């Protein structure tokens, strides 16, 4: 039975992948473990191996398509299952057309008489066939394109007709409703003539406070009866738009009732107005609605519909051109950018962050780095970030709560200390991971970090090289950033943001001295890490960096 080839999950954050290139064609034999295709993930470009042996009998996702994880992209089957398939046609330059059949005797005679001439003719025929092949292929593609356009145009016309018919039916129904409503109201007026409202009676032989009967109001502001105000709030009526018909211009119940009735009719009336405008400017109703929403004058829009009719797509194209004229441009998100957006939003929505800041004296670390890098080539030197990664790993040994993860009402304590290093690439942020960083020397970390950073920028990391981090270091100090706060990657409980190392004047024993200072900020998940625990981690980190003799050794 044929086995499906599915889009594999190549990282813990991957939700979809884009097919870069198929390394096998339909009809090619495939062995288990053999490279089958290249896939672009949110982190890297990865070669995918086949999980089955057989014949590639179907490719359901072409190069350039983006497919969800777990969805089918191809099919591998047996030789029997592959019998009915056709291999893709060979490129035109490699194609060899079949030779015209001729009677064997005539062929033999020709070969005996003029073998050189026969060979020349065959060569000419082959050359002509090669020259004609691209033209035939081009004509075939043009025919298919014309057919597709015709089908698309027919489908579009059908949709437009359906849309117009729907609006016509709605317009007719609304007109019937209006006529029925008018008839009903006329009948009510005949049956129930309006009675005048009773006047307020004031007895002249008693002293009565006039405020009981006349509502005070600010100049230019109408008063509102309590019942009218309650009714207006219930139906979301803007009182500033209502003209009162009560005593002294007061807004009374009947004014609100009339406003509610008018509001109810506004929806159908608006649709009728849309249809009227659509007929006037030869546009579809959807195009009219979109134009009003975007503030577009339909007189400036060129229609591509039947007889130049303006469609919704025409208005959208006009808006896009207008944006371009304003210097705006809309770009599709890469898979990496989509993943960053999704995970950072998830982090801020689900992880209660709090932040701890600390300033560290880096004088001793500066001297140690100079000593370790003496006589070394640039590509072999240890950076300050390598020392910070090593110090962070040792601090996590002392404060394991920071190396933990909140998982479904439980806390998972990670036994391995895997430190991710945030790395900028042209497509976005990638976090290569130094596995078991606490057991490696600063020199080992430097070599591994440099290699993985270079391959990350080329999208050549393997999934295991950017997965399973338990803690992350994000360093923007080399760009002159003094201090910042970082967002915790979901699945971790903390991230260390490292600022620039700079000389600053510090008072020591009553004297001002220059010191190499560095500011760090620890972002913590408050579900796992409390303020005291986070502080203990930073204190240990500071101790290790201010007395860094142990950082260059393996644990």
Just list the catalytic residues. Answer: 526
Strand 72-77 to 3-6 pairing: antiparallel
Instruction: Give, in degrees to the nearest 5, the angle at Cα 153 between 150 and 155.
Output: 110
Cα–Cα distances in angstroms (integers) from residue 84 to residues 55, 57, 70, 81, in the given order: 12, 9, 27, 7
Nearest Cα residue to 381 out of 399, 396, 368:
368
Contact present, 312 and 287 (Cβ < 8 Å): yes
**Measured distance CA(246)–CA(253) in Å, rounded:** 9
Strand partners, 104: none
362 vs 545: CA distance, rounded Å? 7
Query: What 3-state class would DSSP assign to 409?
Result: coil
Q: Which three-class secondary structure state does DSSP give residue 359?
A: strand
Q: 425 phi and psi, to 5 degrees?
A: -130, 170
List CB contacts of 96: < 8 A, sequence separation 6 or more: 126, 129
**Measured on CA atoms in the order 168, 173, 174, 178, is the torsion positive or negative?**
positive
Instruction: Give the HSE-up count for residue 300: Cα atoms under 13 Å, Cβ half-sphere.
Output: 11
Please name the residue that has the structure tokens 């001439």.
Answer: 117
Structure tokens at 7: 């889009």
Are the C-beta atoms of 227 and 235 separated by less than 8 Å? no
Contact 543, 409 (CB under 8 A): no
Name the β-bridge partners of 39: 19, 46
Q: d(Cα 462, Cα 497) in Å, to the nearest integer?
A: 26
């Amino acid at each position: 039975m044929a086995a499906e080839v599915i889009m594999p999950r190549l990282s813990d954050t991957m939700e979809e992948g884009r097919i870069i290139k198929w390394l096998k064609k339909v009809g090619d034999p495939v062995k288990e473990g053999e490279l089958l295709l290249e896939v672009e993930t949110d982190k890297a470009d990865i070669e995918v191996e086949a999980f089955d042996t057989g014949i590639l009998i179907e490719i359901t996702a072409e190069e350039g398509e983006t497919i969800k994880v777990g969805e089918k992209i191809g099919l591998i089957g047996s030789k029997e299952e592959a019998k009915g398939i056709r291999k893709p046609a060979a490129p035109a330059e490699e194609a060899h057309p079949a030779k015209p059949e001729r009677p064997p005797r005539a062929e033999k005679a020709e070969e005996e008489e003029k073998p050189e001439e026969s060979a020349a003719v065959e060569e000419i025929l082959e050359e002509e066939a090669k020259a004609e092949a691209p033209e035939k292929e081009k004509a075939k593609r043009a025919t298919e394109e014309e057919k597709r356009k015709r089908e698309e145009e027919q489908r579009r016309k059908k949709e437009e007709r359906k849309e117009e018919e729907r609006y016509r039916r709605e317009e007719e129904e609304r007109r019937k409703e209006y006529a029925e409503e008018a008839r009903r109201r006329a009948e009510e007026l005949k049956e129930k003539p309006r009675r005048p409202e009773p006047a307020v009676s004031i007895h002249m032989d008693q002293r009565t406070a006039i405020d009981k009967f006349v509502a005070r109001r600010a100049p230019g502001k109408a008063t509102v009866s309590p019942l009218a105000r309650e009714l207006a709030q219930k139906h979301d009526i803007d009182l500033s738009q209502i003209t009162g018909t009560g005593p002294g211009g007061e807004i009374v119940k009947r004014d609100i009732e009339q406003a509610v009735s008018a509001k109810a009719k506004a929806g159908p009336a608006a649709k009728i107005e849309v249809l009227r405008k659509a007929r006037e400017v030869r546009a579809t109703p959807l195009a009219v609605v979109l134009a009003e929403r975007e503030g577009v004058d339909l007189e400036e829009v060129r229609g591509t519909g039947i007889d130049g009719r303006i469609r919704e797509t025409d208005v959208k194209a006009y808006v896009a051109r207008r944006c371009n004229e304003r210097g705006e441009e809309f770009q599709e998100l890469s898979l990496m950018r989509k993943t960053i957006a999704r995970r950072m939003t998830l982090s801020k929505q689900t992880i209660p962050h709090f932040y701890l800041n600390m300033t560290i004296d880096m004088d001793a670390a500066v001297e140690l780095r100079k000593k370790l890098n003496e006589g070394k080539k640039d590509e072999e030197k240890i950076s300050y970030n390598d020392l910070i990664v090593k110090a962070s790993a040792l601090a996590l040994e002392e404060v394991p709560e920071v190396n933990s993860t909140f998982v479904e009402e439980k806390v998972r304590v990670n036994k391995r200390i895997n430190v991710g290093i945030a790395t900028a690439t042209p497509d976005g942020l990638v976090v290569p991971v130094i596995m078991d960083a606490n057991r490696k020397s600063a020199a080992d970390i430097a070599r591994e970090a440099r290699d993985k950073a270079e391959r990350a920028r080329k999208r050549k990391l393997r999934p295991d090289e950017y997965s399973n981090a338990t803690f992350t270091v994000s360093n923007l100090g080399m760009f002159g950033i003094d201090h910042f706060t970082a967002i915790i990657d979901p699945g971790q409980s903390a991230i260390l943001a490292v600022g620039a190392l700079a000389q600053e004047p510090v008072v020591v024993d009553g004297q001002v001295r220059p010191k190499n200072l560095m500011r760090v900020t620890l972002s913590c998940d408050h579900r796992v890490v409390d303020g005291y625990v986070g502080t203990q981690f930073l204190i240990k980190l500071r101790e290790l960096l201010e007395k860094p003799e142990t950082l260059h050794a393996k644990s």
